[in-house]
Structure 1
Amino acid sequence: MAYTRGNLAVKENTAARGQNPRYRETTKVVTHRSPLPVREKLLYMATIIFCVAIAAGLLWQNSQLYDIKRQVFNLNTDIQSISAQVKELSIQREKLEERIPEEAAKLGYVEPQNEGVHVQVPTASIR
């Protein structure tokens, strides 16, 4: 037995109408959703805005950390290159210090016989 407009006790009249009905009777169930109240919409919107703000804050913080780490890396590479330059320059300085006596002898300078320099200050000029 078919379900006819909410009542199962009704008999079908297809036998009285004939074997082949010209049209098929169908029913369509339509459900209407009630719209969300304004407060609930605002609550959802506030929740979404809050979540987006938290995500944006985390992304900003991570970008700041990335920048700081990048600066530290750049400073470390600069320190390494400068320390290599310092080593090369200290080696060059030592080589030049070894050549000082030779160059002085070529120019006519003589090493003093006495070690150190003695300067005599008159006692009358001291007050």
Structure 2
Amino acid sequence: MRFFKFGDDIYAFDENQEHLITSKHIELLGAELDKHINPQNYLSDEEKEQLRLIQFKPLTRRQFKLALLENGLLNTVEQMIESIEDPITKTRIQIEYSESERFERSNESVQYMLRVLNLTTDQVDEMWRYAMTL
């Protein structure tokens, strides 16, 4: 299989299709080819983390709070929100926690709440997966 760029598009041709290749097709070779075939190898750590977080479905308010309750964290989260010193951050987190109908794993405020609970990423992922079943 050979890969070619034609304008902004990428085409793959096997040996039975090589007669379709024109002089306007530019063959992808080396790093450019590898980047097309293995794009995950060229992502930053932040991009990889965002892709990982996208796999977690948003939780309803009910699921989020039940998961916190069942893990003994509901009161801790509420106390943590009350103890935030910066008034802007505190208000933003309170609004997100009190008013959100859906909680997304990649949401900055959700990440903040979960980060201050001192849970590992694996613990949060496990709790999130469980919450998706509630």
The structure with the greater share of residues assigned to strand is: 2
Higher relative contact order (CA 8 A, sep 6+): 2
**TM-score (structure 2 length as normaliser):** 0.17
**Rg: which structure is higher?**
1
